[in-house]
Structure 1
Amino acid sequence: MFVLSGVCLAQAETPSSSGSGFAITSDGWILTNAHVVKDCRRIEVPGQGVASVPRLDAANDLALIKVDAARPLAPLQLRRAPVRLGEDIIAIGYPLSGLLSDSIKITTGNVNALAGLQNDTRFLQISTPIQPGNSGGPVVDRDGFLLGITTATFSKKVADEIGITAQNVNFAIRASVADMFLQAQSVSVQFGERAPEQAALSTADLADRIAPSVFQILCYGSAEGQPSAAVSSPQPAGAGLIERAGYDAIGFDYQLIRETSYADCRASCVGDGRCQAITYNVKHRACFLKNNVMALIHNTDAQAAYSTAKAASVVVSEFTSYSGIDMPGGDYGRLNQTTYLDCFVACLGDNACRAFAYIAKKKECWLKERLGSAEPKSGVDLGVK
């Protein structure tokens, strides 16, 4: 698997790095890349002050920070219509701060491909030139609606390793993936679409419209000891358990404990000879005891732990799980009278499957060949590759 270089600007002096971000709500929420803010002791947004501890989705390189805005921010709207191959786009941000001018900068280009490396449909490949400091900035269409978030470029290091010089190969996380992250964080966003009689805006007019919504993100120092919701590396939990924060353990649930703490959930597993793994849902304070575990799936609301005896067999998947969210459309397969585990395994083993939706009440699984627009829906568990 190729490794992409993050495009976060590193400097010898403070701030230690910088990136870009943009308003997603009027009351101070700003969306950016996880790699821009995840290691920061302090995050500042020039003109807006110090930002909150970030909420991270490290699997999809997304982060939310919040500022105490003196005046309402101008949030960008997500586009409802699907992205089209070849359409004109604009990227806005603060690249090469300290080397070039400190002002906001704009570049134009096209959507080169509707997937990233190895057909990863979470990403768009774009031709807008990307420089260090662009990370986290918006990619918009000619009407100013959000299509993606600038995240990475094909690094010289990777090019040297494979012996191919790839020119202007850049990537953006799809806005639909960001929408799922925002919904999981209970942050509501606005959608828009072009009116039939509306003409496409010029680049200058777009810059005037979008620039007030885009901010430079400054990172100061190291985040040692600072809390966040990032996905963690494996940590020994004692009593034969391995902990993974930000993951859900996929296995056979045999007991649900409500209104409990993670420590009590873990203790319940340690004291029960049947228990091989747990998933603790932080948001709902719910503990799931499992008598088997097959895989781990990203879930920012979850904390998993599993037996050291299962360490060699547990698959750490690239899936991300979202509860209470559906993604209508793109269905190509349906499984009836099935379990969440069977649904997950079916999608995992099918290269055509990009996501699945599981409806527990109906024991119904829908396999999806493409990613659409996410929307809240009670009783649906969505898994995205």
Structure 2
Amino acid sequence: MANWSRALCAFILVCGVASNSWADDPVSSGTGFAVTADGWLMTNAHVVHGCERVEVKGKGVAADPRVDETNDLALIRIPSAESLTPIAFRKAPVRLGEDIVAIGYPLADILSDSVKITTGNVNALAGLRNDTRYIQISTPIQPGNSGGPVVDRDGLLLGITTATFSKKTADEIGITAQNINFAVRASVADLFMQSQSLTASSGQRAPDAQPMATADLSEKITPSVFQVLCYGKPEVQASAKVESAPASLPTPAHVSTELVNARGYDAIGFDYRMLKDVSYSECNATCADDGQCRAITYNTKHRACFLKNNVVALIRNSDAVAAYAPSMAAGVIVSDFTSYSGVDLPGGDYKRIRKSNYLECFTTCISENQCKAFSYIPKKSECWLKSSIGKPRAANGVELGLK
């Protein structure tokens, strides 16, 4: 996706008369929400872009901004005397048509300055040109909504409000597009947090749980959502008050084809080529130039690059850096497994799969509740599923996956 800071062409000017106290007025506002208990909030990159100071209303000045402009995400930290209640990221995939709720602070200078909620549905499982970093949503998006959470009926995070179909694009294609809005997937935000050494809480619906009513959902989620205020230079503040509008998506021709990076993960898929003694940038560039490459795993310890023609999941591996095509994001499982080479867990075996491969071993284990770990032996093409975890020991030629 093109640099989001260049896409902010949909700002709406509000209250153009300067105030006598203009030096203390924010130049724009958006929404953020708690992702950790110790003060970290997530918002959009364009909400904090160009700010001299960022303040979270009622919580004080934010510090230590972490920005991912490619995916229009940002993390900011607020001083918090008491623990925040983070919104849990949903483990289950997004479903087409499911009910959703968006929470934020739209048009706070025109309407009330309190938090507001809107309801809608997931309209599509991808954005422009099948960019699966995004979901398309029908919840109305107004200036000030930017950076707010989009949750399901259990209050679990599905995405972050980020963009609307630009009027410029609609004029260019000759179609009056109505209520076409987009949210960055929670899985993309989760990877961004991990790249910053932060851990998001996650959850899933209990088997006997019932979807929450909108009022109950509001009471549960709104304490975790905050208005984010951007303060600029005095000469900028004197001109107009602006609320941070959703970024206008550019025309489809500008959609990025860069790989989505995931440090500390191994991409699980079919390897078709290996490169030895190369850098990560060389590995990444080789995949980008290869028409069949959909993902890579780069081993930092051995400087080895594995090119893959598909990817189904990410598995934790401290010696690896994974990257995959944005078009594959919707189907990628960010798993709780950790990968180890040259390690085995004796005992606990309940199933052996002959003539197997690592991918089959992994997917079988992840689909069976009793499976706590697996050992894969490449030379024998053999997979052992384990229902209990013993004491690990060194074992050459064994690939261990541990939940």
Deviations 1:170-217 (A, max 9, x none): 111111111111111111111111111111111111111110000010
RMSD: 2.8
Distance 1:18 1:168 in 2: 22
Report 1:162-311 matches (<5 A): 162-222=173-233
Residues 153 and 371 of structure 1: is their aligned pair in 2 closer, same or farther, counting only changes over 3 Å? farther
Contact residue 4 and residue 152 of structure 1 kept, 8 A: no
Distance of 2:309 and 2:142 partners within structure 1? 34
1:222/1:161 Cα in 2 relative to 1: closer, same or farther (>3 Å)?
farther
Deviates more, 1:178-187 or 1:336-345: 336-345
Is residue 352 of structure 2 the alignment partner of residue 377 of structure 1? no
Identify the residue that residue 95 of structure 1 maps to in structure 2: 106
One-letter code aligned to 2:183: A
C-alpha distance 342-223 of structure 1, shift in aligned 2 (>3 A): farther
Q: Separation in 2 of the partners of 1:202 and 1:353?
A: 44
When Rg is computed on C-alpha atoms for both structures, the one with the higher figure is 2
Q: Deviations over 1:335-374 (max 9, x none)?
A: 23455456434542467765433234383525365675x6
Partner residue in 1 for 2:298: 358
Contact 2:8 2:46 in 1 (8 A): no
Give the letter aligned to residue 323 of structure 1: R
* Partners of 1:23 and 1:216 in 2: CA distance: 11
Q: Deviations over 1:256-309 (max 9, x none)?
A: xxxxxxxxxxxxxxxxxxxxxxxxxxxxxxxxxxxxxxxxxxxxxxxxxxxxxx
DSSP-derived class of the 2:120 partner: strand
Q: For residue 63 of structure 2, give the secondary structure of its aligned residue in structure 1.
A: coil
Q: Take 1:146 and 1:137, find their aligned partners in 2: how far apart are those partners?
A: 10
Instruction: Report the TM-score when normalising by structure 2.
Output: 0.65
1:20 partner SS: strand
Q: Percent of pairs identical after alignment?
A: 55
Question: Contact (CA 8 Å) 2:261, 2:323: kept in 1 or not?
Answer: yes
Mapped partners of 2:322, 2:9: distance in 1 = 27
Deviation sequence 1:213-244 (CA, Å, 0-9, x none): 000100011499xxxxxxxxxxxxxxxxxxxx
Pick aligned residue for 2:70 from 44, 47, 59: 59
Question: Are the structure 2 counterparts of residues 8 and 148 from structure 1 closer, same or farther at C-alpha, using a change threshold of 3 Å?
Answer: farther
Shift in CA distance, 344/128, structure 1 to aligned 2, threshold 3 Å:
same
Name the amino acid aligned to 2:263. Answer: S
Query: Which structure 1 residue ranges, 5 or more long, are not aligned?
Result: 225-315
Aligned residues: 291
Amino acid at match of 2:297: A
1:319 and 1:169 map into 2 onto residues whose CA distance is 25
1:32 aligns with 2:53: no
Q: CA deviation at 1:49?
A: 0.7
Distance 1:75 1:327, change over 3 A: farther
Q: TM-score, normalised by structure 1?
A: 0.68
Match of residue 42, structure 1, among 44, 47, 53: 53
Kept in 2: contact 1:9–1:18 (CA 8 A): no
Deviation at residue 325 of structure 1 after TM alignment: 3.1
1:109 aligns with 2:120: yes
Task: Measure how far apart 1:324 and its partner are.
Answer: 1.9
- Higher alpha-carbon deviation: 48-57 or 354-363: 354-363
Cα distance change of structure 1 residues 53 and 76 upon mapping to structure 2, 3 Å threshold: same
Distance in 1, Cα, partners of 2:180 & 2:100: 15
| 1:329-368 correspondence to structure 2 within 5 Å | 331-338=269-276, 339=278, 340=280, 343-345=283-285, 347-349=287-289, 355-360=295-300, 361=302, 363-367=304-308
